[in-house]
Amino acid sequence: MKNRLLTGCVATALSVVALTASALPYKDASLPIEERVKDLIGRMTLEEKVAQMRIFHRVKGIESGDNGELVLSKDVKKRLEYGIAGIKNPGELDTPEQAAKLTNELQKYIIDTSRLGIPAMFVCEAYNGVDANGSTRFMRPINMAATWNVDLVNRIWTVTGREARLRGFHMCHSPVGDIMRDPRFGRMSEGYSEDTWLATEMVVAATTGVQGGYDGSGVNSTHIGAVTKHFAGYAQVLGGRNFASIQISERDLIDQIFPPFKASVERGHSFGIMPSHGDLNGIASHANPWLLTEVLREQWGFDGYIVSDSNDIARLHDFMKVAESHEAAVEMALKAGMDVDLYSDLAYIYLADMAKKDSSLVPYIDRSVGNVLRTKFKLGLFENPYTNLEDTKKEVRSEASQALALEADLESPILLQNKENALPLNKDELKTVALLGPLLYENTQKQFEQVTGSSITYISEQGFDLTNRKKGKPNLLPRDEAKIASLVEKAKAADVAVLFLGGDEFTAKEAYFNNTVGDRDSIDPVGPQDELIQRVKALGKPVVVVLKHRRTLAINVISEEANAILSCWDLSEFGDIAVAKILFGKVSPSGKLPVTVPRSIGQFPFHYSQKEINYKKGYLFQKDGPLFPFGHGLSYATFSYSEPKLSSEEMAKDGTLVASVEVTNSGSMVAKEVVQLYIKDLIGTVIRPDKELKGFQKIELNPGETKTVEFTITPEMLKFTGLEMKPVLEAGDYHVMLGTSSVDYQTKSFKLK
């Protein structure tokens, strides 16, 4: 009787505690988020606040045991003593279901051991799908831009956000908003374009997709938050070298570099922002109050959290050398607006003790903690902290997701050249096809056979590799005559040679801090690739090049020798199915170049939208202009454009103007075309670009079909940063260019009154 009475008393006491806890304002989902944030901050100790400003990586000791149970190291348990803002990549090596189980158990541990029950955010990378075992692998971001299909890119990122949430993730350090204009930079394929407009539309599509909708409504249960990076200008590092200095005029920064980030915040409602490793005109990005507070928050209204790139707050002292000590680095970053310290044990770990000595830091801490907690409330973590394993099993890497990856692959490849209509190949006229070269994959022949069946005999051989494939610092391999000769012999036995050339993940990659390199001082193809195509072409047989790469390459010899070039960048796991379908004419290629292809790195800068005066003089002993221009891409169909029309020859400063053109498929197969709109300001008070992309539409046309494509020109499209560093809209004459690339168009003129 006594034991039963005791049990009843304990149960009653626990129910009272539970009732009291549930009645706490910050746990009341019906209250406005700002009230919940304020209430929770008021209950937190200094140590608990600082814990909400740190993220560590799962390699510190989070894994699944032999029986699938959660195993935490002593180090991890210590790190979770006061809670945590988030953890990077838990379960990344596990299957999706096991990852969901692990993150559920990890979240439960964090909530149960936290005095206030604050859940953690689990964070992933997601360049081409969720970067974790068993997820659907899509093509790289530069490929997505090559589709020029905003809806398709949005659908890719919608699937990515859903798969991430089903694994137990809540945020991703993606998308990349950097403008990619220097192919020496090893991370080129992580971004979208050299062009501001194209990159902006792709970043908005990615942000809204991964967050589950243009209003971000999916993040509280079905999707995850985006962290747009690297703010700002990181791809403009000097020499194309990771961690190098960044020098950009303030006008170019505002007009060309900022827009993808601004749109990600204002249109995409991105939950997070990550500054760049570098400086910005001498000011370290992680200690730049103008960038992180004035521009991002005060001008653009950003209310998410700002997370450091890997260890970069501590590097204000160690690497940037703008802070006398780690503590000084912490204060600089905190006051500039840095909310979360990623990975470091030499930065915000000191913050609690610093604030106890200097109470003036507390308001900055509260500001940052508020930004983190606001994000967690928006993510619905207090109400929905766990993942449904049954949904994970059904939806991650579903047939529909894999079909989407292939659909995207079919729209990405760019037919750069097609001499004498070498493509498409006619399988009824071919007996033997050689698939050769260093970028040939193990399953390439199998994927080709899926498309063509048994009517064609394939000869496949990679021949040689480009490097020794050492992860940190790969070395080029010496030329091997026997391997080259073997490939040539294989080509002799075929009716047509398909050469898989270009570069791979070892010839263009991120250069990490610890003696890892990935940038190059040349953009010529590495190894004996030029020699290979010359020797194969000398056989007198048709040569088709499938170009796979992660950086723009100066393919002068390849373009001279190849009958046709299909530029594929880095496709998904189904990429060679798409390649085969395009080569054999089952699908017409519809990709367009998201970057300019130069003849030499010596032409740098070579983006199409430079100032007009940059084109006054060429170089000695070199042809003027690029090898292939921005926006270029051929089709198996032919498209005829009518003369463009403008709704008026004049436009009021507060009005709009419609530009239209009729496009007809005069070919014999269904095909897609990207209609591009460029605008040129003929006279400006500051020197203006030669032309700028201001709109594009991808349309599909049946043979003989005609569609009218319209673009609405708005005053916002014509604004730029004027003499006084303020946005201006200047009256005068403008050219409107409508066509199929940045050099193939028709022009109309209007006057802005």
Q: How confident is the model at residue 515 (pLDDT cuts 50, 70, 90)?
A: confident
Ranges 8-12, 173-177, 248-252, 595-599: which has the least confidence:
8-12
| The residue to which tokens 């040539």 are assigned | 488
* C-alpha distance from residue 507 to each of 444, 466, 479, 488, 515 (Å): 21, 8, 16, 24, 15
* Residues 227, 169: Cα–Cα separation, whole Å: 13
b (16+ CB within 10 A) / e for 629-641: bbbbbbbbbebeb
* Residues 232, 254: Cα–Cα separation, whole Å: 10
Average pLDDT rounded to a whole number, residues 24-52 = 98
pLDDT value of position 375: 98
Q: How confident is the model at residue 204 (pLDDT cuts 50, 70, 90)?
A: very high
pLDDT value of position 10: 37
Residues 163/397, Cβ–Cβ less than 8 Å: yes
Higher model confidence: residue 477 or residue 23?
477
Residue 9, pLDDT above cutoff 80: no
* C-alpha distance from residue 711 to each of 632, 646, 647, 677 (Å): 20, 10, 10, 8
Domains and CATH numbers, the chain: 28-124+358-388 (no CATH), 405-615 (3.40.50.1700), 639-752 (2.60.40.10)
Residues 735/748, Cβ–Cβ less than 8 Å: yes
Residue 17, pLDDT above cutoff 90: no
Residue 5, pLDDT above cutoff 60: no
* Residues 657, 528: Cα–Cα separation, whole Å: 53
Residue 8, pLDDT above cutoff 90: no
pLDDT value of position 220: 85
Dump pLDDT digits (tens) for 381-410: 999 999 999 999 999 999 999 999 999 999
Q: How confident is the model at residue 67 (pLDDT cuts 50, 70, 90)?
A: confident
Distance of CA 308 to the CA centre of its chain: 18
Average pLDDT, the chain: 95
pLDDT value of position 68: 86
Residue 11, pLDDT above cutoff 90: no
Higher model confidence: residue 685 or residue 513?
685
pLDDT value of position 22: 57
| The residue to which tokens 């201006």 are assigned | 728
Q: What amino acid occupies position 404? A: L
- The CA-CA-CA angle for residues 140, 143, 148, to 5°, reads 140
pLDDT value of position 214: 74
Q: How confident is the model at residue 216 (pLDDT cuts 50, 70, 90)?
A: low
User: pTM of the entire structure?
Assistant: 0.95
Average pLDDT rounded to a whole number, residues 26-52 = 98
Residue 267, pLDDT above cutoff 70: yes
Dump pLDDT digits (tens) for 680-718: 999 999 999 999 999 999 999 999 999 999 999 999 999
Dump pLDDT digits (tens) for 530-573: 999 999 999 999 999 999 999 999 999 999 999 999 999 999 99
Distance of CA 18 to the CA centre of its chain: 44
Residues 633/592, Cβ–Cβ less than 8 Å: yes
Dump pLDDT digits (tens) for 273-324: 999 999 999 999 999 999 999 999 999 999 999 999 999 999 999 999 999 9
